[in-house]
Chains A and B, each alone.
Chain A
Amino acid sequence: MSEPSPVVLVVDDEVQIRRFLRAGLELDGFVVQDAETGADALKWVTLKQPDLIILDLGLPDMDGGDVLERLRAWSTVPTIVLSVRSNEAEKVRLIQGGADDYVVKPFGMAELLARAHAAMRRQVRASSGEPMVKAGPLHIDLAARIVTLNGARVMMTPKEYKLLQILAAHAGNVVTHQYLLKEVWGSPHMHDTHYLRIFVRKLRQKIEEDPTQPRILLTELGIGYRLAIPEPSKPTMQ
């Protein structure tokens, strides 16, 4: 526990939202920095690299999507966007624009923290080269390309593995249909969602205890898929 506390930048113009986010994030062990406007946020990020950004989309000075675009031009800092409901197309656009994940207002703290930790772990995995992704009983070794379920090897076709590999690389965070289709089948099939549905069904039959009620490979309706990873018990919650 000698690591320094991670720093999170909260960008939201609603003071009450910032207040509860600060409380919740501090309880979870973050050091919290606030920004009310997009311009403030961008200025702050250039001065100090935070470990996480929580970005509200309705900012007074600029669109959250624009902030994300400017940010992604030079930074890969994990970013979770706060979105409103009934706009799946916008969520997909934001994730394709570089957001690691989203939560829909109103949201609970646990949900936000789960998304945030997943995004931060991915960042760590990418820099440290850690090949192992554990989603409950399912272990995926990205280096050796070996998948085991409760210790037993799971055989997969190349496309099934490719699908699982992408989800594992983003473990805990949502991956859009379009991204999966483009990576596994290629750009011409970006909108053939049914390919994906059929392959996910096959994958679930191999890795889920009850494929009709999956616990590992979860569907985000209208958006994509998420490989669920159980939250490790948090020592910071005392």
Chain B
Amino acid sequence: MALQRETEQRIRHELRGILLALLMVAVTTVIAFALTRYLDVRRGSVIYLLPVMLAGWHLGLIPALVAAAAGLLWSGYFFYSPFYAYFLSRPAEILNLVLFMIVGLVTSHLANSAKQHAELARKRENEMSDLYAFSRRLAAAPSAAEIYLAIEEYVANLLQRNVVLYEASNSDDHANQSAVPEEMRVVIGEIQSGSLPATTIEDNKGNTWFMRRVSQRTPDFGVIAIDLGRAPKNMVAGTRQRLDEALSDAAATLERLDVARSLTEAKMRSETELLREALIGSVSHELRTPLASILGAATVLTQSPVIDKDERLKSLASVVHDEAERLNNDIQNLLDATRISRGQVKPRMEWIEPQDIVNSALERRRRRLSSHSIAVAMDSNLPLIYVDPVLVEQAFVQVVDNAAKYSPAGSTINVAAKRNGHDVIFAVEDGGAGLTGEELSHLGERFFRGSRHSTIASGSGLGLWIAKAFVAANGGRIHAASQGADQGTTVSLFLPLAKDAPQPEPDSDE
């Protein structure tokens, strides 16, 4: 049935080509008529090569041949004596026309094969760039799952079919694999172990899926299921053979690119990463408990009457307090970084007054900012924004911290909240170390710190990275600008306005 449909389609396609070719000949004929009638041109039969070439290039061989035959007829009519008649009187002219026919045929053939060559070259080029993109993706893949996804998309693109890849894995903890029905999992297991070379199954929509290992040589690349659609049984064998060939090409490519090693490395990388993050998480937590005691005790000391009377002791007590607080912030940054890389940042959105976020952040950092002069300018009628206020505040605190850290004591830090188009912008401008173009380009990378900045203040290079992640979780972005070294820095948080800003409640009592 499908075969019949395919043939029908091809015939329809050719008929359309022939019709178009005849149309081109007709247009040419109108021009030829005008040439002979009004301009008295008598040696113009070459004009009929034009539709032949065009048809050969765009429509294929058969339409080109039809165009040649029609052209032959009409050029006999217009350009050979007796003019405006289909029959020819002189033998030389018959020869002339036969020559025309031969040139037409050769032209159409050349045009057609040139077109095919060009298409083939373009296809090769696409394949090469696909392959290049695929190999780059493999090299950069952060996890095995990412590699399997790449293989799946690569094969799907190559075969031009729906494919599903079942990862080579002993554990059942992958989400897409746990969604696989039990009987299916048995089949996959058998194929993966090699006891069943390949099979076809039918899904509940009546589609036939052909299943086999991606590579017959190694189970590492997983088991692939290819959608054959509603193909009849006798069709499957032919399609299978074509797919087998295409797949063995793909498998050879995978082997050549050393996908197996990439997979092992990615698995190891993600395990190391997990271990490291678990370690950071638990160590940070253990460190915080004693820090809470140190910080609390320091605040009691600074308030005790005995120490309050002695300036030297008082300053020592505040050293304990400030350093403990700094340590606590560093630990908080590590915990936040862990939370971000585990994808555990889940914003709790609510409507909030933008100024509230700025005020809360400045209040939280009042002690640290006390050595700077803070100039606040906030528009009084900013619209409400729909964000997680706690996350945005934490991002803003990071930005304010940086401003205080990298600008000299006594200098002014300008804090602004304003509306600009579809965003509310929180801006922090300091008169400090500034950023060079080079430093700007690395800004916001995890652990990035400019060498100049390291000499000014200690830090982990996590702050702005965390801020970016928190703001991004709220649909916003961070932008940093600086005129250059020692020219100060302006960091702006852009938070998008929601489309449906809330109206006051309907039964307002005013």
Residues of A within 8 A of B (CB): 14, 16-17, 19-21, 23-24, 27, 85-86, 88-89, 105-110, 157-159, 185, 189, 192-195, 197-198, 200-201, 211-214, 218-222, 237-238
| Contact (Cβ within 8 A) A89 B348 | yes
- Cβ of A27: which chain B residues have Cβ within 8 Å of it? 300, 303-305
- Cβ of B332: which chain A residues have Cβ within 8 Å of it? 85
| Contact (Cβ within 8 A) A213 B389 | no
CA distance A198 to B469 in the complex (A): 29
- Cβ of B505: which chain A residues have Cβ within 8 Å of it? 185, 189, 192, 195, 198
Q: Which of B305, B360, B510 contacts A221 (CB 8 A)?
A: B360
Interface residues of B in 389-424 (CB under 8 A from A): 389-390, 393, 417
| Contact (Cβ within 8 A) B348 A105 | no
Q: How far is the CB of A40 from chain B (nearest CB, A)?
A: 20
| Contact (Cβ within 8 A) B380 A212 | yes
22 contacting pairs across A/B (C-beta < 8 A): A20-B300, A27-B300, A27-B305, A88-B390, A89-B348, A106-B295, A106-B325, A106-B328, A107-B292, A107-B296, A109-B296, A109-B300, A157-B509, A185-B505, A189-B505, A194-B502, A197-B384, A212-B378, A219-B353, A221-B393, A222-B350, A222-B389
Given contacts A14-B289, A219-B356, contact A20 B509 (CB under 8 A): no
- Cβ of A195: which chain B residues have Cβ within 8 Å of it? 504-505
Q: Which of B288, B304, B351 contacts A106 (CB 8 A)?
A: B288
| Contact (Cβ within 8 A) B351 A193 | yes
Given contacts A109-B299, A211-B380, contact A219 B360 (CB under 8 A): yes
Residues of B within 8 A of A (CB): 288-293, 295-297, 299-300, 303-305, 324-325, 328, 332, 348, 350-353, 355-357, 359-360, 376, 378-380, 384, 388-390, 393, 417, 502, 504-505, 508-510
CA distance A165 to B392 in the complex (A): 30
| Contact (Cβ within 8 A) A197 B351 | yes
| Contact (Cβ within 8 A) B510 A157 | yes
Most buried by B among A85, A212, A214: A212
CA distance A220 to B390 in the complex (A): 9
- The count of A-to-B residue pairs whose CB atoms sit within 8 angstroms is 114
CA distance A219 to B356 in the complex (A): 6
The residue in chain A whose Cβ has the minimal distance to the Cβ of B295 is A106
| Contact (Cβ within 8 A) B504 A109 | no
Most buried by B among A14, A218, A221: A221
Q: A17-B293, A197-B353, A197-B502 are in contact. List 16 more A-B contacts (CB 8 A).
A: A20-B293, A20-B296, A24-B300, A88-B390, A106-B291, A106-B292, A107-B296, A109-B299, A110-B299, A189-B505, A193-B350, A197-B384, A198-B384, A198-B502, A201-B353, A221-B393
| Contact (Cβ within 8 A) B389 A221 | yes
Q: How far is the CB of A118 from chain B (nearest CB, A)?
A: 17
CA distance A23 to B510 in the complex (A): 52
Q: Which of B291, B296, B352, B388 contacts A21 (CB 8 A)?
A: B296
- Cβ of A157: which chain B residues have Cβ within 8 Å of it? 509-510
- Cβ of B353: which chain A residues have Cβ within 8 Å of it? 197, 200-201, 219
CA distance A205 to B29 in the complex (A): 84
CA distance A105 to B285 in the complex (A): 12
CA distance A108 to B366 in the complex (A): 13
Most buried by A among B289, B303, B332, B508: B303
Given contacts A213-B376, A221-B360, A221-B393, contact A109 B303 (CB under 8 A): yes
Given contacts A211-B380, A212-B380, contact A237 B305 (CB under 8 A): yes
- Cβ of A192: which chain B residues have Cβ within 8 Å of it? 505
A-B pairs with lowest CB-CB distance, top 7: A16-B293, A194-B502, A108-B299, A194-B351, A219-B356, A106-B292, A24-B300
The residue in chain A whose Cβ has the minimal distance to the Cβ of B359 is A213
Q: How far is the CB of B52 from chain A (nearest CB, A)?
A: 72
